[in-house]
Structure 1
Amino acid sequence: MKQVCVLGNGQLGRMLRQAGEPLGIPVWPVGLDAEPEAVPFAQSVITAEIERWPETALTRELARHPAFVNRDVFPIIADRLTQKQLFDKLGLATAPWQLLANRDEWPAVFARLGDLAIVKRRVGGYDGRGQWRLRAEETAQLPDDGYGECIVEQGINFSGEVSLVGARGHDGTTVFYPLTHNLHQDGILRTSVAFPRANAEQQAQAETMLSAILHELNYVGVMAMECFITPGGLLINELAPRVHNSGHWTQNGASISQFELHLRAITGLPLPQPVIDNPSVMVNLIGTDLNYDWLKLPLIHLHWYDKAVRPGRKVGHLNLTDSDTDRLSATLEALMPLLPPEYASGLTWAQGKLA
């Protein structure tokens, strides 16, 4: 019997465990502070739900494990500097960027990149944390410890955001889901919409770019690539070397979910192309209390993470999938009064995509 240990025990590890049960694959999400002797890793395949982790007794042990899939890839993608260097090496379109070494560089930065600079910490930032949108008169907002530890990108005037979730097997086989349309607010994904057939030109460009990355890194498993839509085509924003929030709709909207696909890939099981027949919507639940009234709506699939509810914290998501976009839109309309007012804009955005 195959078994998997997941470095990290958050919601992604939880959903990988759930996906493993029907396959007969025990999946063990492991907290970073666990003692090595408490973790059944000796005969396991090792994966991770996070890009970077502190050095502990457990992580030192896992770093030596021969079955830690993608172990050497995580540091490349976890650092935005080396991630951007990878794009440049492969000739893949991304926003113009540079390392921000010291304050004296600001005049040259704005001269080269334009009026709006997007500053991102090289490591550790997520869901809008560790990021700044700065104009020339606002550069004092960047903390002193950001210099040398941040990259700066050109602010892109994009018309939309999409992500491609795909997987590569040990034999080099690749499969992809249709592009997912995403709405972010304050740096956090709020809502996603996916259709069985994406824009053919965008899908082809995205698959070509992500394929190049997967093969260059000899990556095995699921990876997500977030992109901006621009008049000149897609620009890669960033990568996630793991199952991804924007792929959660696949749990109810695809023949194989991203979580099952990842387990199949890393354990060497068959990797057929997932089948998607219907449009899907995913609504992130952020800092919102559990409300079982959501389940009065027949299209709603609730995925609750059983985490303490705090402002800004992802605590669950709702999936909706149906062949009739009018029914999906009507369900979103009925959902609005069952959620806090700040969700209305995301639900309205999804209705616009379905129209």
Structure 2
Amino acid sequence: MSSKPIWVLGAGQLGAMLKHAGMPLALDVRPVDINESSAPALQADDLVTAEREQWPDTLVTNTLAHHAHFVNKPVFGRLADRKTQKELIDSLGLSTAPWRNVANEISANELRDQLGERVLLKRRTGGYDGKGQYWIRAQDDEVPADWQGQAIAEQAIPFDEEVSLVGVRNRAGQCVFYPLTLNLHLNGILYASVAPLTRLQALQTQAEDMLGKLLNELDYVGVMAMECFRVGDQLMINELAPRVHNSGHWTQAGASISQFEYHLRAIADMAIPKAQILGQNVMINLIGTEYNPNWLNLPVAQTYWYGKAVLPGRKVGHINMVSKDLGEIRSTLQQLKYLLPEQYYKEAIEWSLKALEDQD
């Protein structure tokens, strides 16, 4: 067992949850705010991981990111840039939306000729929860000048639904995967996740093969998430996240080993046995809403509050529900309707209930 400190680049909610997951393992996990005025004093054999794949140039990031034991150091830049991420996916022959680099004054008409009538521009770096995106739809739309050389363009995919796979790999190359998760995004922000679903089991092997190829190609250690579009019985990779991921939060309550524990086990060279799934899981994100103590009255729900200032569109917590009794899950979702702001959550609650219809 590693007794060396594990430093986490970033001190947001993911860093806090990694720290919490490390406690039962007797791992000393230390998240660090990237904007601290002084950098921590790392020892030569300490370990460094990250809760984010992008970071500005600060004293803290320079100290942690250049440490000799920064796990997955070559991976972050490669996946944080959507151009090099797409090139990696293409090089492995994995399915993703047709795309082009936005450079050399390429015009909207050229992009439409190559990709179709509906084209989505994405900033190569930055941009999350729906930010950093620009649609080209109308005939008179043009590529904004400040997006040239800074973006990729993707063909709009008429997908059936969005799913994700969270997996872990250790230094020996052993990989373990959770069941596919069904996700709901509204305005680019994840609002709800449901797992496992019987009807997605037929896609599990396909998803594991895809993510497994990526993990092995990158010689990756720890947890990675792969977000996909489902188009019929085929999966198409949308984006990769080299870290623990919002769509895996349900594993905190719903699996014998959470994604946060898996990540720490892998980088600390501890065993990564296949986790048991403890029941039907639903995760509801808390977006821009004030804390409600009545959430604690729900018997099959666990509330995770991040302690952040509540701002419109900001993730401030999540609620995990798990039970082997589908009736208990449905009842809890119905109760949540009255404990969450309708303008944010009515659609997410109804979507979750509908996702469970085929589970009986």
TM-score, normalising length from structure 2? 0.95
Q: 1:52: which partner in 2?
A: 54
Q: 1:297: which partner in 2?
A: 298
User: CA RMSD of the aligned region, Å?
Assistant: 1.5
The offset of 1:148, in angstroms, is 1.2
The offset of 1:196, in angstroms, is 6.6
Q: 2:83: which partner in 1?
A: 81
Q: 1:178: which partner in 2?
A: 179
Helix, strand or coil at the partner of 1:2: coil
* Match runs of 1:150-189 below 5 Å: 150-189=151-190
The offset of 1:326, in angstroms, is 2.0
- CA gap of 1:180–1:16, structure 2 versus 1, over 3 A, is same
Helix, strand or coil at the partner of 1:165: strand
Give, as a single letter, the amino acid of the residue that structure 2 aligns with 1:346. A
Q: 1:117: which partner in 2?
A: 119
- CA gap of 1:189–1:41, structure 2 versus 1, over 3 A, is farther
* Match runs of 1:237-276 below 5 Å: 237-276=238-277
Provide the C-alpha distance between the structure 2 equivalents of 1:170 and 1:181, rounded to a whole number of angstroms: 29
Q: 2:97: which partner in 1?
A: 95
Provide the C-alpha distance between the structure 1 equivalents of 2:270 and 2:323, rounded to a whole number of angstroms: 29
Q: Gaps (5+ residues) in structure 2?
A: none
Provide the C-alpha distance between the structure 2 equivalents of 1:214 and 1:183, rounded to a whole number of angstroms: 25
Q: 1:6: which partner in 2?
A: 8
Give, as a single letter, the amino acid of the residue that structure 2 aligns with 1:27. V
Give, as a single letter, the amino acid of the residue that structure 1 aligns with 2:169. R
Aligned residues of 2:288 and 2:314 also touching (Cα < 8 A): yes
Q: 2:33: which partner in 1?
A: 31
The offset of 1:25, in angstroms, is 0.6
Aligned residues of 1:110 and 1:116 also touching (Cα < 8 A): yes
Aligned residues of 2:108 and 2:136 also touching (Cα < 8 A): no
Provide the C-alpha distance between the structure 2 equivalents of 1:136 and 1:293, rounded to a whole number of angstroms: 46
Map Cα deviations across residues 96-145 of structure 1 (whole Å, 9 max, x no partner): 001111554322211221111011000001000001222143524x5321
Provide the C-alpha distance between the structure 2 equivalents of 1:241 and 1:292, rounded to a whole number of angstroms: 34
Provide the C-alpha distance between the structure 1 equivalents of 2:84 and 2:138, rounded to a whole number of angstroms: 26
Q: 2:228: which partner in 1?
A: 227
- CA gap of 1:112–1:14, structure 2 versus 1, over 3 A, is same
Provide the C-alpha distance between the structure 1 equivalents of 2:346 and 2:355, rounded to a whole number of angstroms: 14
Q: 1:106: which partner in 2?
A: 108
Q: Does 1:214 align with 2:215?
A: yes
Q: 2:331: which partner in 1?
A: 330
Aligned residues of 1:15 and 1:259 also touching (Cα < 8 A): yes
Provide the C-alpha distance between the structure 1 equivalents of 2:244 and 2:279, rounded to a whole number of angstroms: 21
Aligned residues of 2:122 and 2:133 also touching (Cα < 8 A): yes
Provide the C-alpha distance between the structure 2 equivalents of 1:211 and 1:185, rounded to a whole number of angstroms: 29
Aligned residues of 1:118 and 1:134 also touching (Cα < 8 A): yes
Q: 1:318: which partner in 2?
A: 319
Provide the C-alpha distance between the structure 2 equivalents of 1:68 and 1:197, rounded to a whole number of angstroms: 38
Aligned residues of 2:229 and 2:238 also touching (Cα < 8 A): yes
Map Cα deviations across residues 262-295 of structure 1 (whole Å, 9 max, x no partner): 0000010001011113110000001110001111
Aligned residues of 1:167 and 1:262 also touching (Cα < 8 A): yes
Provide the C-alpha distance between the structure 2 equivalents of 1:225 and 1:302, rounded to a whole number of angstroms: 25
Provide the C-alpha distance between the structure 2 equivalents of 1:236 and 1:37, rounded to a whole number of angstroms: 37
The offset of 1:36, in angstroms, is 5.4
Determine what percentage of the aligned residue pairs are the same residue.
51
Helix, strand or coil at the partner of 1:137: coil
Aligned residues of 1:183 and 1:346 also touching (Cα < 8 A): yes
